[in-house]
């Protein structure tokens, strides 16, 4: 029997989880293929008996993964599972993702999530969740993969499998959207990103075209297309990945990070600490970095202050 894991990962956390889930599925006897979202077509799913879908939490599913799921035809009961990695606030993910998969006709066998380091330009570096996913998280991911493999095999044999109850949204979708807008605004105090053609190396460089989360960018047309609506990506989901990958600094925010979130000023630690302390008390969060080592006054952009700030992920080991 064949399983497919489709994932999106920007900084590698979800990729690590996807690979361990792959190993767990293999341990349960499955032949597994791991596929990057951008290389996956809707019809690819037809060749597999079990499907796993994973992404980081960006308020909910990342918008590229959400659009992919929405584009799928009826899956006629095909077994599936989903997973994510996240920073401090993952709560909207499964209540929105699981029903979305069910609406597409998947039989959802389970879901799981793990903390991951967070690389957001104006957020602390190191972040509160630095060090995750660690070995323990990845052992859990392996166990989750094995369990999904065992359940999937039983389901495919026609045995009676006890399915988990769909996670209840702890807020109405309307409120979820308001929360997403609020969080997006919080990330994007620097306003929209813009591309400076004078500093851009295109056509010698096309990193931000090849790796744009949403596939928005195309500089071969006239006028060149950068981001959504001609100048930037969707404000609400602004990922700033292109800014991080650009080798010359041609992509930059309208309001310089230094101005929008000056280094030395604390940005949002009260809220994050409150949420993490609660999770810690409930045994859901293991702190790997002491609070006094969190970079509340050294935002990501100020520590990674040369271009590029990040390199695209290598997918070489995905199918080893």
Ligand X SMILES: Cc1cc2nc3c(=O)[nH]c(=O)nc-3n(C[C@H](O)[C@H](O)[C@H](O)COP(=O)(O)O)c2cc1C
Give the residue closest to ligand X by C-beta: 116
Q: Which is nearer to ligand X, 143 or 183 (CB)?
A: 183
83 CB-side CA count, 13 A: 32
Q: Which is nearer to ligand SF4, 231 or 265 (CB)?
A: 231
Q: How far is the CB of 114 from ligand X (least distance, A)?
A: 8
35 binds, among ligand X, ligand SF4, none (CB under 5 to 8 A by kind): none
207 binds, among ligand X, ligand SF4, none (CB under 5 to 8 A by kind): ligand SF4
Q: How far is the CB of 106 from ligand SF4 (least distance, A)?
A: 26
Q: How far is the CB of 86 from ligand X (least distance, A)?
A: 3
Buried residues in 23-51 as b, exposed as e (16+ CB within 10 A)? bbbbebebebbbbebeebeeeebeebbbb
User: Is 295 an interacting residue with respect to ligand X (CB under 6 A)?
Assistant: no
* Binding residues for ligand X, total number by CB under 6 A: 23
Taking alpha carbons only, the member of 269, 253, 272, 263 closest to residue 303 is 263
H-assigned helices in 75-134: 93-103
Q: Which is nearer to ligand X, 106 or 128 (CB)?
A: 128
**Residues between 124 and 183 with contacts to ligand X, criterion CB under 6 A:** 183
Question: What token pair was written down for 161?
Answer: 């499998």
Beta bridge partners of 32: 3
- Dihedral (CA of 67, 68, 69, 73) sign: positive
**Residues between 90 and 109 with contacts to ligand X, criterion CB under 6 A:** 90
Q: Are 53 and 65 in contact (CB under 8 A)?
A: yes
Buried residues in 165-194 as b, exposed as e (16+ CB within 10 A)? eebebeeeeeebbebbeeebeebbebebbe
Q: How far apart are CA 318 and CA 231, in angstroms?
A: 34
Q: Which of 24, 116, 145, 149 binds ligand X (CB under 6 A)?
A: 116
Q: How far is the CB of 102 from ligand SF4 (least distance, A)?
A: 27
Question: What token pair was written down for 67?
Answer: 């659009």
Residues at the interface with ligand SF4 (CB under 6 A): 193, 195, 200-202, 205-208, 212-214, 216-217, 227, 233, 238-242, 245-248, 250-251
Q: Are 285 and 279 in contact (CB under 8 A)?
A: yes
Coil, helix or strand for 209? helix
Q: How far apart are CA 124 and CA 269, in angstroms?
A: 9
Q: How far is the CB of 63 from ligand X (least distance, A)?
A: 9
Q: How far is the CB of 182 from ligand X (least distance, A)?
A: 10
User: Is 118 an interacting residue with respect to ligand X (CB under 6 A)?
Assistant: yes
Region binding ligand X by CB under 6 A among candidate stretches 64-72, 83-91, 168-176, 254-262:
83-91
Residue 70: φ, ψ to 5°:
-65, -25
Q: Which is nearer to ligand SF4, 196 or 280 (CB)?
A: 196
Binding site for ligand X (CB under 6 A): 9-15, 56-59, 85-90, 116, 118, 120, 183, 187, 239
């Amino acid at each position: 029997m064949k399983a497919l894991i489709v994932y999106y990962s920007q900084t590698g956390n979800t990729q690590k989880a996807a690979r361990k889930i792959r190993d767990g599925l293999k341990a349960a006897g499955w032949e597994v293929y791991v596929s990057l979202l951008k290389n996956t077509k809707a019809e690819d799913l037809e060749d597999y008996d079990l499907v796993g879908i994973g992404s980081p939490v960006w308020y909910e599913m990342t918008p590229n993964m959400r659009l992919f799921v929405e584009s799928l035809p009826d899956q006629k009961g095909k077994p599936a599972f989903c997973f994510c990695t996240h920073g401090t606030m993952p709560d909207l993910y499964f209540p929105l993702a699981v029903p979305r998969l069910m609406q597409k006709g998947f039989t959802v066998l389970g879901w799981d999530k793990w903390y991951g380091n967070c690389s957001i330009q104006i957020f602390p570096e190191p972040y509160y969740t630095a060090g995750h996913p660690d070995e323990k998280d990845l052992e859990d991911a392996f166990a989750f993969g094995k369990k999904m493999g065992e359940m999937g095999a039983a389901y495919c044999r026609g045995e009676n499998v006890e399915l988990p109850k769909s996670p209840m949204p702890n807020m109405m979708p309307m409120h979820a959207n308001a929360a997403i807008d609020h969080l997006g605004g919080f990330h994007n105090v620097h306003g929209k990103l813009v591309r400076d053609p004078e500093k851009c190396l295109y056509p010698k460089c096309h990193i931000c075209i090849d790796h744009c989360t949403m596939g928005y960018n195309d500089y071969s047309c006239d006028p060149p297309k950068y981001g959504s609506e001609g100048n930037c990506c969707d404000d609400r989901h602004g990922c700033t990945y292109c800014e991080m990958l650009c080798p010359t600094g041609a992509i930059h925010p309208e309001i310089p990070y230094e101005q929008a979130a000056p280094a030395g000023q604390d940005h949002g630690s009260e809220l994050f600490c409150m949420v993490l302390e609660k999770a810690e008390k409930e045994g859901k969060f293991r702190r790997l970095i002491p609070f006094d080592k969190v970079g509340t006054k050294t935002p990501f952009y100020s520590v990674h202050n040369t271009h590029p700030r990040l390199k695209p992920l290598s997918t070489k080991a995905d199918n080893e």
